[in-house]
Amino acid sequence: MTSESDHIVAGVAARIFADFADPQTINRDKGGAWKVPFWRALSDAGLPLAWVPEQLGGSGATLADGLAVLSVAGRFAVAMPLAETMMAGWLLARAGLKAPDGTMTIAPARPLDRIILGRDGILTGRVCGVPFASDAQHIAVLAEGESGTAVALVATKDCRIDQGKTPAGDASDVVTFDHVKPLRHALALAGFDQTALMLMGSVIRSVQSAGTLEAILSLSVAYANERVAFERPIGKFQAVQQNLARLAGEVAAALAVSGSAADTLAQHDAFDDATFLEAASAKIRCSEAATESAGIAHQVFGAIGFTQEHVLHRFTLRLLAWRDDFGNESYWAAELGKYVARLGADEFWPLVASR
């Protein structure tokens, strides 16, 4: 359920994105000059630290508010670590740590990577695919320590960064913590662990993906109605209509399942079995939708959609890249399958029906 405040916060976000991150403008701006004023506007509105309580330096927005912002962000698919900074602030708050200003990211960003917090308060570990690590000033780290799961704030410059790129060209780096001393660290709230972090990341990526899919559907339908071939708009051909109807189906599934997962988190902010089913399903289904939809959209656009000049790749490539963050669809499907197998056939339908 969307509340009144969702609309207000998401409305503020939508105006900032429209004013500072218009896809056509960004696409022509090779130097990235749009980034500074855009980030300033986001910061002035308190969005990067939306999920940080006021006493820890943030704006204390609800999970629902923040997820509504990320749905808007998905529709613009910008190459800036807004989702990552929000998630990092949220992670720091799981251990009562204050959040710094500026850009942040999260590590680990893959379920099988591990970071260790030694008894001496020193971090070690090597993690892959950390989004925007080379662009972020700080990294919020989840680490396993002797006394339990801990959260730490690290300056990026204290880590070794081996740069990598997603298909969209965004930084996705290997971060090595070679005896790194964090700026601050503390034990996480009881029950919080790396699985919970991955589930949160999966809901975030699913909500962003659904927003991006909405944009792709809207762009594709508009193009099919404009582009004339064989003396008709291509959208008048049944073969094209069938493809766009399939695209709409994928977008619908992604919207419904990501919305459901977001609603679940917003309603009960706990990483229990219900959240696991919802979040894992959302990541699986949205990733599958990404694969299908990117293919259909490019097919509709033909050659023009394959150019750097056209904005389509900004959406499709980022959508495809997000599949790999916080556990891809194969990983979560195996986890979900193992869970359901343990649960057994007789308990399976009651689980589905409980949502």
Binding residues for another protein (CB under 8 A): 1, 214, 217-218, 221, 224-225, 235-236, 238, 240-242, 244-246, 248-249, 251-253, 255-257, 259-260, 263, 277-278, 280-281, 284-285, 288, 329-330, 332-338, 340-342, 344-345, 348-349, 352-353, 355
Q: State the amino acid at position 174 in one-letter form.
A: V
Closest approach of another protein to the CB of residue 79, in Å: 24
Which C-beta is closer to another protein: that of 148 or that of 337? 337
Least distance between another protein and beta carbon 341 (Å): 5
- Least CB distance to another protein at residue 264 (A): 9
**Please, which residue, 168 or 240, has the CB nearer to another protein?**
240
Other beta carbons less than 10 A from residue 242's beta carbon: 11
Least distance from C-beta 56 to another protein, angstroms? 29
DSSP 211-226: HHHHHHHHHHHHHHHH
Closest to another protein by CB, 131 vs 327, is: 327
The strand pairing partners of 171, in sequence order, are: 165
- State the maximum Cα–Cα separation within the chain, in Å, rounded to a whole number: 73
- Nearest distance, CB of residue 135 and another protein, angstroms: 32
Is 133 or 251 the residue whose CB approaches another protein more closely?
A: 251
Whichever of 248 and 317 has its CB closer to another protein, that residue is: 248
Dist CA 221 CA 234 (whole Å): 10
Least distance between another protein and beta carbon 198 (Å): 15
- Minimum CB distance to another protein smaller for 172 or for 220: 220
Residue 284 is given by DSSP the state: H
Question: Minimum CB separation from another protein for residue 345, in Å?
Answer: 4
| Nearer to another protein among residue 135 and residue 288 (C-beta) | 288
**What's the closest the beta carbon of residue 210 comes to another protein, in angstroms?**
10
In this structure, are residues 221 and 163 in contact, taking their beta carbons and an 8 Å threshold? Answer: no
Q: Which of 274, 309, 315 is nearest to 293 (CA)?
A: 315
Contacts of 344 (CB under 8 A, 6+ apart): none
DSSP H helices, the chain, are 4-20, 23-28, 35-44, 63-76, 82-93, 194-226, 238-268, 273-301, 312-322, 329-343, 345-353
Decide whether 109 or 210 has the Cβ nearer to another protein. Answer: 210
DSSP 40-66: HHHHHTT-TTTTS-GGGTS----HHHH
Residues 6+ apart with CB under 8 A from 200: 87, 90, 265, 271, 279, 326
